[in-house]
């Protein structure tokens, strides 16, 4: 399976995917920001890179089409979003339906969108974590595949929660990517299947 990773920043999840030695191959790393450190991580791993800056396009549709053309040029089978900070158009998403993953720093369906760590602290939740899901046109609403949770401590801050959730992300994201690469996880007719059975609930990894 030929994989592309879309990034905008530091690329710690990209590094976790590189280090996991997936049975698929990361063919290219695409960023909307030329100064994203994730691009340097890719170069150090001898992975092709491309920069498609959203600032160079008049609208989201033309930006997404340029990314789509780069993915086609790389002959990509699977797109992994790893800290990619642009909302994708429905047209782009539909072309990669069932072939695009994202990871979100909350236990979806709770806390879609941004500032998840602060919102968890504000509401006093006992548990927090991350979710790997298929990407759909609705933000953070695609079918959840896997989750991992931590217990929120009384002395936790936004920073400590972010650090702890990042560790979960680095563990479960490569695992889900590998399931797609080796065929354990598939997508048919708008539904995820795991080991040939419909995935009714996200797979829960042990809490850390």
For the CA atoms of the chain, what is the radius of gyration? Answer: 17
Residue of 142, 149, 102, 104 lying closest to 125 (CA atoms): 149
- Residue range 147-162: mean pLDDT, rounded: 96
- C-alpha 82 chain-centroid distance: 5
The model's pLDDT over 158-178, given as tens digits with 9 standing for 90+, comes to 999 999 999 999 999 999 999
Tokens of 24: 């698929």
The model's pLDDT over 99-147, given as tens digits with 9 standing for 90+, comes to 999 999 999 999 999 999 999 999 999 999 999 999 998 888 999 999 9
Tokens of 122: 């504000």
This prediction has a pTM of 0.95
As to burial, measured by CB atoms within 10 angstroms (0-12 exposed, 13-18 middle, 19+ buried), residue 188 is: exposed
Catalytic residues: 104
Q: Do 172 and 204 contact (CB within 8 A), yes or no?
A: no
Q: Do 35 and 89 contact (CB within 8 A), yes or no?
A: no
Residue of 152, 196, 36, 60 lying closest to 14 (CA atoms): 36
Q: Do 127 and 149 contact (CB within 8 A), yes or no?
A: yes
């Amino acid at each position: 399976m030929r994989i592309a990773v879309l990034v905008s920043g530091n690329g710690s999840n990209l590094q976790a995917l590189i280090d996991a030695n997936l049975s698929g191959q990361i063919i290219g790393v695409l960023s909307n920001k030329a100064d994203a450190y994730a691009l340097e991580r890719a170069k150090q791993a001898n992975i092709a890179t491309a920069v498609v800056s959203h600032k160079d396009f008049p609208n989201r549709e033309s930006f997404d089409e340029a990314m789509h053309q780069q993915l086609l040029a790389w002959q990509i089978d699977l797109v992994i979003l790893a800290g990619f900070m642009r909302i994708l158009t429905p047209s782009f998403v539909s072309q990669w339906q069932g072939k695009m993953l994202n990871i979100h720093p909350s236990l979806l369906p709770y806390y879609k969108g941004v500032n998840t760590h602060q919102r968890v602290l504000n509401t006093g939740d006992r548990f927090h974590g991350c979710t790997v899901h298929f990407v759909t046109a609705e933000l953070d609403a695609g079918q959840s595949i896997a989750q991992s949770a931590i217990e929120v401590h009384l002395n936790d801050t936004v920073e400590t929660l972010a650090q702890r959730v990042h560790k979960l992300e680095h563990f479960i994201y490569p695992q889900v990517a590998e399931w797609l690469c080796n065929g354990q996880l598939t997508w048919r007719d708008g539904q995820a299947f795991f080991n040939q059975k419909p995935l009714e609930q996200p797979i829960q990894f042990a809490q850390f």
